[in-house]
Structure 1
């Protein structure tokens, strides 16, 4: 199967048909929910305390609904208007913003207690336009994300790197932007179940030994 980011830019690939598929396919929903729950677990949020979180590439709001279910408040950004339209139809509680994450996170300093992103980060490794430079867009994204997070916050990205070079590219730009962290790989020996999470911290030391 071709990777979606090789077929079309995200704002075109995630059209009305694709947006509907995301909210009508029970298998897709189940996978999104499971990955969202795992990402939230890796955030290590304080117990019994509602947090204000950023959902990057929030799509139709499936991950945002998981944040709501766990008692948190959230703002979501996505480049696909069709996906955000479905999120509005679903009446999610988060604020929604039509935005290209490669142009940065347009929020005030220290706004968020944490951030999650499900299945979105790999799109920044792709150049959809001649003006797109993946290294620059990744750095712009990570540096602006770092600025809008509190100094004890974490960001967790579930994503699908195409190869080791992309993992290195993403990690290098995140560290240049000021983050600490590392990769967490669930089910590393399974082709189908394997999931890769990039766990970033705004302060502290390198991530080790996750369950």
Structure 2
């Protein structure tokens, strides 16, 4: 059994999405997967989001709240959202005073228009069903204020065939995607202006954008 099946409810086909149900097991596996470099990797990712003092930040697909906790010291308030009650409970238990966590889906964000200055989503888009992903980006656009910023980060599989196969065996079909194919033109199609994109250590690819 791959680790993906152990941790969450992904079906056999990656495009059907899934929800992670075992937060403590996920934390252990994540630490092992990053070979001791998880904190450094997500600190780099948080820096790429360019949070500002006083920012109202939304973390879509926040999971255990790992990234939102790193963002919290340099932000005004961070709201984490995830469809898994177990993950939200885990995140809430560890929440800094300026972090709030709610159960919800990216394609149906329960927030008013223009509620946030910054929206981030890390390693979450591939968990959503394919048909829900464009609406999730439109929802992120809606809840950002004009001039607000977006950072989407996704897993980028290794280029070697053997390494890609190993990743697939460990994590299941959801992590075999090419991030360019996964995201396609969804970000500009939702109304965003893409400002840049790039790669970070530990097989992460990001796109940074703004709401005009």
Range class of TM-score, shorter chain = 0.7 to 0.9
Match of 1:86 in 2: 90
Aligned counterparts of 1:72 and 1:5: Cα–Cα separation in 2: 36
Whether the 8 Å contact between 1:32 and 1:118 is mirrored in structure 2 is: no
Q: Please, which runs of 5 or more residues in structure 2 have no aligned partner? A: 11-17, 157-175
Cα 1:69–1:31 change in 2 (3 A) is farther
Q: How many residues align?
A: 183
Larger RCO, structure (CA 8 Å, separation 6 or more): 2
Aligned to 2:42: 36
TM-score by structure 1 length?
A: 0.72
- In structure 2, do the counterparts of structure 1 residues 28 and 98 end up closer, same or farther at CA, with 3 Å as the change threshold? farther
Aligned to 1:97: 102
Q: Give the Cα–Cα distance (whole angstroms) in 1 for the partners of residues 37 and 123 of structure 2.
A: 11
- Is residue 4 from structure 1 mapped to residue 13 from structure 2 by the alignment? no
- What is the root-mean-square deviation of aligned Cα atoms in Å? 3.0
Uncovered stretches (5+) of structure 1, i.e. residues with no partner = 128-133, 188-192, 204-211
Distance change >3 Å, CA 139–CA 66, structure 1 → 2: same
How far off is 1:156 after superposition? 1.0
TM-superposed deviation, 1:45: 3.9
How far apart are 1:37 and its partner, in Å? 2.5
Contact 1:180 1:201 in 2 (8 A): yes
